[in-house]
Amino acid sequence: MTAASQLATRQTAAVAGGVGTRAIYAQRALNAELWDVDDRRFIDFAAGIAVNNTGHRHPRLMQAVREQAELFTHTCFHVAPYESYIRLAERLNAIAPTGAENRTMLVTTGAEAVENAIKVARAYTKRPGIIAFSGAFHGRTMLGMALTGKVAPYKKNFGPFPGDIYHAPFPNTFMGVTVEDALSALERLFQADIDAERVAAIIVEPVQGEGGFNIAPKEFLQALRTICDSHGIVLIADEVQAGMGRTGRMFGFEHAGVKPDLVTMAKGLAGGFPLSALTGRAEIMNAAHVGGLGGTYAGNPLAVAAANAVLDVIEEEGLCERAAIVGKCIQDRVQTISERQGMEAIGDVRGLGAMVAFELVKDRTSKDASPALTNAIVAEAEKRGLILLSCGTRANVIRILVPLTIEDDILAEGLDILEASIEAAVSAA
């Protein structure tokens, strides 16, 4: 019996069945490579779901965390605050693209950042309503699930959810949902479901993560900014997955030249240590009463040390520029594969920076989803030593999230495995 199979048996007996996992039991990792407990090597095209933008165990991060661990690991910022939290807040205030004076609070997970964004927006506007979009993912808490626009597996069987949450269509070029369609539906929502003057915030991802890497068109985000300005609505940019250099800019919203009021961050912020942030315009962030924001572990010193190091690495190693280069390499390769005879199952290839995906369909005319082929490609890649992730509301999209620090030869090897896995799965279908 392998070490992995032994752990699988133990997991079944010890871990809640609702915790979904893969059969890759990690032993060690470095940059874009991971080895499991049976010493099988994998190239990591998942990066811990866009967490390890700076790779596994970047030396700068590891050194920063070691140094902080020698000083203290926890005091609770509300009890005994520390300079590193303040320094990180200063740095995030400086880079968050609101175009205004900013303030920051630190928490632990992306869902917490989102929940606090909603709290702050409601405190500032004194309004209850929140608008999110179809295909959105904003977390697994009750409020996070209410905001999320994808039922399975995130919302199924877990309701009822908090009220005053509304959903509008998200533009989707491949499926024929235009910007005009989405904006018209939003206007109908204002007419039929909630008065715009009762809406506290609109929350939107610049690139939908779980929803299938659907990219928000520039004109859509610009229109949302205009709508928010017209009605006194707070515009929240959920940059949890798209942020921290992933799209070729520090934040995905920057591609559209749109200035949000609040920005949520997590995942790549601390390179594998649990940390999230909410940064936004000072007058909005300061609307909550003293003591209304925070948490026991919010801004953990080790994670804060890692985040400060992440910002150094992104700047010093030019990771935003690197994301654009890596993303083009990936997108060009998958696009070339899709244009070959027999690869009509690849219905669409899309991406922004190093946030790349391709959608699997039964045929390009009907565009009917092919989740079975999607799963087969992921499984085939795993057999060959490549970690991939699927996503999409129809469970038919494969997303590629390589560490931005990935070496060129490892990237090329991974893309070769990806191509072979697609060919094998398509041939067997």
Q: What is the CATH number of the domain that holds 371?
A: 3.90.1150.10
Which domain-ending residue is among 316, 331, 364?
316
For residues 42 and 123, membership in a common domain is answered with: no
For residues 221 and 326, membership in a common domain is answered with: no
Tokens representing 426 are: 């398509």
Question: Which pLDDT score, from 0 to 100, does residue 158 have?
Answer: 92
d(CA 382, CA 368): 25
For residues 128 and 241, membership in a common domain is answered with: yes
d(CA 167, CA 131): 6
Residue type, 281: R
Inside any domain, residue 26: yes
For residues 346 and 310, membership in a common domain is answered with: no
pLDDT by position in tens, the chain (length 429)? 899 999 999 999 999 999 999 999 999 999 999 999 999 999 999 999 999 999 999 999 999 999 999 999 999 999 999 999 999 999 999 999 999 999 999 999 999 999 999 999 999 999 999 999 999 999 999 999 999 999 989 999 998 999 999 999 999 999 999 999 999 999 999 999 999 999 999 999 999 999 999 999 999 999 999 999 999 999 999 999 999 999 999 999 999 999 999 999 999 999 999 999 999 999 999 999 999 999 999 999 999 999 999 999 999 999 999 999 999 999 999 999 999 999 999 999 999 999 999 999 999 999 999 999 999 999 999 999 999 999 999 999 999 999 999 999 999 999 999 999 999 999 998
Inside any domain, residue 163: yes
Helix (H) or strand (E) holding 280: strand 276-281
Question: Which pLDDT score, from 0 to 100, does residue 323 have?
Answer: 98
Cβ atoms of 65 and 406 within 8 Å: the answer is no
Tokens representing 274 are: 């649990």
Inside any domain, residue 187: yes
The residue range of the domain holding 418 is 3-57+318-428
Sequence-separated (6 or more) residues with CB below 8 Å from residue 302: 65, 68, 69, 73, 273
Report the C-alpha dihedral over residues 41, 43, 47, 53, rounded to 10 degrees: 120
d(CA 99, CA 162): 32
Question: Which pLDDT score, from 0 to 100, does residue 19 have?
Answer: 95
Dump strand ranges (E) for 149-193.
Answer: 165-168
Which domain-ending residue is among 291, 316, 341?
316
Peptide bond into 403 cis (omega under 30): no
Inside any domain, residue 151: yes
Cβ atoms of 277 and 353 within 8 Å: the answer is no
d(CA 170, CA 148): 12
Inside any domain, residue 66: no
Query: Is the full-model pTM beyond 0.95?
Result: yes
3-class secondary-structure state, position 253: helix
Inside any domain, residue 63: no
Half-sphere exposure of 256 (CA within 13 A, CB side): 22
For residues 90 and 208, membership in a common domain is answered with: yes
Which domain-ending residue is among 316, 332, 359?
316
Alpha helices in 72-109 (DSSP H): 83-95
Specify the number of domains making up the chain.
2
For residues 19 and 95, membership in a common domain is answered with: no
| CA R_g for the chain | 21
Residue in the block written with tokens 């970047």: 58
For residues 353 and 371, membership in a common domain is answered with: yes
d(CA 54, CA 61): 9
3-class secondary-structure state, position 348: strand
For residues 233 and 322, membership in a common domain is answered with: no
For residues 310 and 322, membership in a common domain is answered with: no
d(CA 50, CA 61): 16
For residues 346 and 270, membership in a common domain is answered with: no
d(CA 388, CA 419): 12
